[in-house]
């Protein structure tokens, strides 16, 4: 049975390291580390000894391409500040787009 190679293209949509780790943006260093360790334990290869090889590979790839990079972005104060700034920009863009759509649609809705 042939296996489809693991593609990491879909992981690119997960740009928010806080969401990836399930953290609040106000999480402190201790909370970030604790959450990272919890998720790392869930995806550790030792937990998949009896699992199918595809499951072990998926857990390994998720950790390597999603969880670890998210933690790397949050463990340093400078990188964490950059992540927060990027999130703020994304939120502002979303709000502006929503307001613009509302203004464009509003006169035509009556």
Indicate the angle between helix axes 29-43 and 68-75, nearest 10 degrees. Answer: 170
Task: Assign 2 to helix, strand or coil.
Answer: coil
- Provide, rounded to the nearest whole percent, the portion of the chain with pLDDT above 70: 79
3 is a domain residue: no
Q: What are the pLDDT digits (tens) for 34-44?
A: 999 999 999 88
46 is a domain residue: yes
34 is a domain residue: yes
69 is a domain residue: yes
CATH number at residue 55: 1.10.287.110
CA-derived radius of gyration, the chain: 19
Helix boundaries (H) for 52-109: 53-62, 68-75, 77-105
6 is a domain residue: no
Q: What is the pLDDT of residue 1?
A: 39
For range 19-32, the mean pLDDT = 91
**pLDDT tier at 70 (50, 70, 90 boundaries)?**
very high
The region of weakest confidence among 3-12, 21-30, 42-51, 86-95 is 3-12
Domain carrying residue 21:
13-109
For range 76-92, the mean pLDDT = 84
2 is a domain residue: no
5 is a domain residue: no
> Chain-wide mean pLDDT for the chain?
81
| Cβ–Cβ < 8 Å for 97, 104 | no
Q: What is the pLDDT of residue 92?
A: 86
Give the whole-angstrom CA distance, residue 83 versus residue 17: 8
Indicate the angle between helix axes 77-105 and 68-75, nearest 10 degrees. Answer: 100
Residue 94 has pLDDT above 70, yes or no: yes
Number of domains in the chain: 1
Residue 55 has pLDDT above 80, yes or no: yes
Kindly give, in sequence order, each residue whose CB lies less than 8 Å from that of residue 84, ignoring residues fewer than 6 positions away. 25
4 is a domain residue: no
């Amino acid at each position: 049975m042939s296996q489809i190679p693991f593609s990491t293209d879909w992981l690119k949509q997960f740009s928010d390291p806080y969401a990836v780790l399930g953290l609040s943006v106000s999480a402190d260093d201790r909370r970030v580390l604790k959450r990272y360790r919890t998720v790392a334990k869930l995806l550790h290869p030792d937990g998949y000894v009896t699992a199918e090889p595809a499951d072990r590979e998926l857990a390994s790839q998720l950790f390597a391409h999603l969880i670890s990079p998210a933690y790397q972005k949050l463990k340093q104060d400078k990188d964490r500040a950059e992540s927060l700034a990027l999130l703020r920009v994304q939120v502002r863009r979303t709000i502006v787009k929503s307001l613009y759509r509302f203004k464009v649609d509003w006169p035509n809705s009556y």
